[in-house]
Amino acid sequence: MTGARALLRTLTATATAGLVLLGGALAPAYAAAPNTEAATTRPDGCRAPAPQAPGTSVLHSMTSQGIERTYQLHLPPNYTPRRAWPVVLAFHGRGNTGAGTEEFSKLSTLPAVVAYPNGVIGTGDGDRQAWQGAPYEAPGVDDVAFTSDLLDTLENKLCVDQRRVYATGKSNGAGFIGLLACRMADRIAAIAPVAGAFYPATGQDCRPSRPVPVIDFHGTGDVTIPYAGDADRGLPAIPDWVGAWAQRNDCAKRVRDRVTEPDITVSRWVGCDKGAEVRHVAVTGGGHTWPGADSYSGGGYTTQTIEAHQVLWEFLHRYRLPRTATR
């Protein structure tokens, strides 16, 4: 717990305001972000009853581009249509599922509506679900369009804040949210890839309509998606991928890296256009895993000195889309 607090202090510019005393120990003040009418954009779903009981996770289906798609939906325990809730989209890795990602990520403990979409079975070995932009993607499937349709569906069913939509994901899913940041910056406020598989197609001709804040997590000992990159598969070195986003966001400088725990190094790019900061959390010796996971999330070492869901939320929840970006 001490290690997690140390990194949270480093990763949150307003640490004093962002933490509260809970049971004698510091805990993230998740409810600290203002939730006033002036700060939100309220969709039609604010006039609809909840499609499931608050505090539950339920598998839903929808049609997108003529294909039946599914997504696991979690509502926070205190969900009510009387307030507009932030949304977290969480994309699984290749061959995983939304339900599997919910189990190890702990994202459903956040004060947000969390949707875990399921990919379509792609190519390559095995019948494994995958996302657009990878060499094993499902041919002809437009997952960017599906994501847009999913957000439309959530806005129709739920009371959500269109200005506070965030995306995270693991591996292939993390690579895909890089593609979303390039193509849907008008609907995604900020992203948090974990152990990202950033194949070339996820970043080609990337011209986001606005600077997109990024916090990236990756283990230096990841043998599935190597930290140093893999030229044979077109995978960039992770520091190069993060640096490219800092360049897109026109960040003024990279501040000195900080070793916040024996296995955690945090890099930051600041002075970015529209305040769209870029951060990178490197896990020394970390595998292809989700930091803080208590169940299997991939091969290799899983750090317990930080909880990725807490750290990414402390970063993401500070950002909102400009009013001109929402529909």
Q: Determine the Cα–Cα distance for residues 239 and 15; give it in Å rounded to an integer.
A: 26
The phi, psi pair for 191, rounded to 5°, reads -130, 160
How far is residue 287's CA from residue 243's CA, in Å, rounded to a whole number? 21
∠ CA 219-224-229, rounded to 5°: 70
CA distance 221 to 228: 10
Q: Which residues of the chain have pLDDT under 50?
A: 1-39
Place of tokens 């230096």: 220
Type of residue found at 286:
G
Q: How far is CA 186 from CA 50, 98, 320, in A?
A: 26, 24, 11
pLDDT score of 44: 79
Q: What is the pLDDT of residue 324?
A: 75
Answer positive or negative: Cα dihedral of 185, 187, 189, 192: negative
How much is the pLDDT for 43? 67
Token pair for residue 259?
A: 């070793």
Strand partners, 267: 280
